[in-house]
Amino acid sequence: MPPRRAARPITQIKRTGDMDVDFVMFENDFLQNKIKATEEATEKNRELADQEIVKRRKTEDKQMQFYADAQDVRAYLSMKHNEKNRKKQYYEKKLQDTRERYKNLLTDLQSKLDKLKQSQDIELTQLTNTLKANKTRRDSLATVAALENQLKREIAEAEQTMKTESKHQGIQMSQAHAEYSDLVGRHEKELKESVMREEAKNRSMTQENLENTVIEMMIEKDAEKTKLTNEVKKSKAIAERNTELMEKNKQLYMNRDLLQSECDSLQKRISKNDATIRTFVDELKAHDQKLKIDAESEEVSDNEEQEKPSAKESPKASVVPELQTSEREANENSKPDREQLLNAFFDDSVNTLCTSIVKILQVIDQPHADEYVQFHEVFNTFEGRKKELRFLMSKLGNLTFENNQKELLPPIGLENIEGVDQEFTKKNLIDPQNKAILEFAGPIGNDEFPELIATQFFQ
């Protein structure tokens, strides 16, 4: 609005005719007061315009600050995304290396097994080690099944939680929209009423009352704006919580699919190992049958040769074949029973494994150490040991321990294993197990045990 042109001061009023001097002075004072009031009103209008400009600049500064904060958040999220991709590549590379090491280990083991087929004792050792590996994988499969059941329960709980949160979020959003609609309608109604009241009052309102009314209206608008901002923040928080639950549910589904694929691959390997074991058993039975037939044929030939001499020989000569026959029967009876040896080996292996896990649990879960020992003493049969082994493996999978506790674990010995080549067992079973404990002790302490079970232990 252009400034008004200042009125020129009235220095002299020229009048013509006969006029009273008092009336001239009164008119001059009235004009001076009116000019002064006009200048004061102009100054107040300029101050109000300056205040509005300052407020508008503050609003623009706030918008620029909000844009800068949004840029920082976008950069932070991009950094997190890149970090997550690098971590994923690292674990994929580590998984690939582990699988290559596992393939190399299988190749070396196969070559050694081919060499061990040269004699019957080496074949028996190979069979027992293969059976033990098969039993360990079966127990591992039972552990994976237990983990899968636990994962299914967690998925069900997460789905229920997500449904509850979604329902609660929908209720809150509907309430927020209803409150917002009511607030907007009430605000429009109040604004119309206030405008009508102000139009009615403006006819007789002074400048001071008008300024107070404008200030009160601005305060009310700021309060309403703050309330709406809080409602928007609550809605954003609910949406973020819903997104987190959806991501968690997606991760759980991925873990379940991974465990299912691992279970299928383990089942195939176990079936293949069972077929190999049956083949070995059939070969051993055929070999035993062949040895038995050869022994019987030799015995028949010896009997025929002994019947050829004349009956004139003394009774002492007839006693010699009987002694040879009795010695041969004693040698046959002294041969070890393969099935009994295998059962004894399985019993000793499962008992030793249960004892080792109990010792580990005594270190990790010290408040329940006595309970594990009593639980171990109750199951004194082979079937009971198998049930105990499944329970202890599942219990071990649900516990964690710190890195400094791995030194407290007892060493793994071979004093309870009989009938097995100890050097071969130590090289192919004990040393890899110790290496795995040292390699995965840190991640287990950091609560990464389920991921490692799904990716590393049961490949």
User: Is residue 383 classed exposed, middle or buried when 0-12, 13-18 and 19+ CB atoms within 10 A define those classes?
Assistant: exposed
Q: Give a yes or no: residue 56 inside a domain.
A: yes
Question: Whole domain around residue 10: which residue ranges?
Answer: 1-78
Give SS3 for 297.
helix
* Predicted pLDDT of residue 196: 74
What pLDDT sits at residue 285? 75
**Residue 399 belongs to some domain of the structure:** no
| Nearest CA among 431, 432, 349 for reference residue 132 | 349
In a domain, 72, yes or no: yes
Q: What is residue 10's predicted lDDT score, i.e. its pLDDT?
A: 46
Within a domain: residue 417? Answer: no
pLDDT value at residue 335: 52
Q: The whole model's pTM is what?
A: 0.24
Examine residue 19 and state whether it is found in any structural domain, yes or no: yes
Report the 10 Å Cβ neighbour count for 129: 21
What's the pLDDT at 358?
Answer: 75
Structural domain includes residue 48: yes
d(CA 383, CA 354): 13
Residue 255 lies in a domain: no
Residue 241: which residues within 8 A CB-CB, separation 6 or more?
A: 165, 169
pLDDT in tens, 417-430: 444 455 655 666 56
- 180-to-148, 177, 229 alpha-carbon distances in Å: 46, 5, 11
Per the structure, the count of domains in the chain is 1
Q: Please report whether residue 149 resides in a domain.
A: no
Residue type, 312: K
What per-residue confidence (pLDDT) applies to 282? 77
Q: Please list, in sequence order, all residues whose beta carbon lies within 8 angstroms of the beta carbon of residue 127, skipping any fewer than 6 positions away.
A: 277, 280, 281, 284, 342
Residue recorded with tokens 């939680």: 161
Name the stretches of the chain with pLDDT < 50: 1-2, 6-18, 310-321, 323, 330, 332, 401, 403, 406, 410-420, 440-459
Alpha-carbon distances of 87 from 254, 319, 444, 456, rounded to whole Å: 17, 83, 17, 16
pLDDT for 18 equals 46
